[in-house]
Amino acid sequence: MRPAPSPFFIAGARDVLPLGGCQSPRYTPPVFTTFAFAVAVMAAIIAVRYLAVSGGFAWLTKLRGVHDGPADPAKRSRQIAQEIRWSLISAVIYAVPAGLALESARALGWTQIMWTINGWQQALWFPLSVFAYLFLHDSWFYWTHRWMHQPRLFKAAHAVHHASRPPTAWAAMSFHPWEAISGAVLIPALLFIVPIHIGALAIVMLIATIMGVTNHMGWEMFPQSWVNGWFGRHVISASHHEAHHRHYNCNYGLYFRFWDKLCGTDRGLANWTQRA
Ligand SMILES: [Zn+2]
Ligand SMILES: [Zn+2]
């Protein structure tokens, strides 16, 4: 005799699994189990991604002979240990909305994630959706970041990120939990509203990860001709974010200089020869 179904059973969830085939036809796990598992897997993925990408760029920084972080070696080691500690806590916080959204997509089909490309409209939307997600993420980051520079919020949350003086590649996710929550919710929420192909989402996450790390590593990875040209006038790279860490009250953006320029908070690019 089959056991009575739990009230948390997802009726017919197996039939809508885009990645299906991994569950027994007789058993659909309770919602709580699958969501908790998705969050745990996501936390592991984000933590490993952070350690690999930050570690990789920290290694490149050393290879190039660039000194990152404080000049005093003991202070530098203490700072990097703190950057890694806060980043790993952030990895767990980021995993909660990300895991819930992806499990909603996988098991329930509730998000706007597309798994196939049908027709030219969807093919055209692929690159446009990458830009739309980056612009919306950048807008959210600009305004929440600027808000967190108000004295009370700065002390309560954002001071953790600015405790890195100057930052290293390990500071990519070095945020107080309050700030990590604000950074974690936007993209998972957008997945329920703005259609995006899973491949375009992967490109957005790749750009977010690489820029988060490289903007803090203490040197510019793009060629000078790019940084001083059209690219650098519109796109944020290490030279722009470094100036935020030096002066605090400018250059709040994440990917684009659009909001900084529009709101008069853009202070131009850092002069690397002046790094402490
Ligand atoms: Zn920063
Ligand atoms: Zn800041």
Q: How far is the CA of 98 from the centre of ligand 1 (A)?
A: 22
Query: Which residues of the chain are under the pLDDT cut of 70?
Result: 1-27, 274-276
Q: How far is the CA of 24 from the centre of ligand 2 (A)?
A: 49
Host H or E run for residue 58 = helix 31-63
Q: How far is the CA of 93 from the centre of ligand 1 (A)?
A: 18
pLDDT of residue 31: 74
Q: How far is the CA of 262 from the centre of ligand 2 (A)?
A: 18
pLDDT of residue 272: 84
Q: How far is the CA of 207 from the centre of ligand 2 (A)?
A: 20
Q: Which bound ligand lies closest to the C-alpha atom of 164?
A: 1
pLDDT of residue 28: 73
Q: How far is the CA of 87 from the centre of ligand 1 (A)?
A: 12
Query: 229: helix, coil or strand?
Result: coil
DSSP E strand boundaries for 104-208? 113-114, 196-197
Q: How far is the CA of 241 from the centre of ligand 1 (A)?
A: 6
Residue 164: partners with Cβ closer than 8 Å, 6 or more residues away: 69, 79, 82, 83, 171, 174, 216, 245
pLDDT of residue 26: 65
Q: How far is the CA of 154 from the centre of ligand 2 (A)?
A: 8
Q: How far is the CA of 253 from the centre of ligand 1 (A)?
A: 10
Q: What is the pLDDT of residues 128-152, one digit of tens each?
A: 999 999 999 999 999 999 999 999 9
Q: How far is the CA of 12 from the centre of ligand 2 (A)?
A: 46
Number of neighbours of residue 109 by Cβ within 10 angstroms: 14
pLDDT of residue 33: 84
**CA separation, residue 164 to residues 78, 102, 136, 216 (Å):** 10, 32, 27, 9
pLDDT of residue 274: 62
pLDDT of residue 24: 54
| 259 contacts 253 by C-beta, under 8 angstroms | yes
Q: How far is the CA of 202 from the centre of ligand 1 (A)?
A: 23
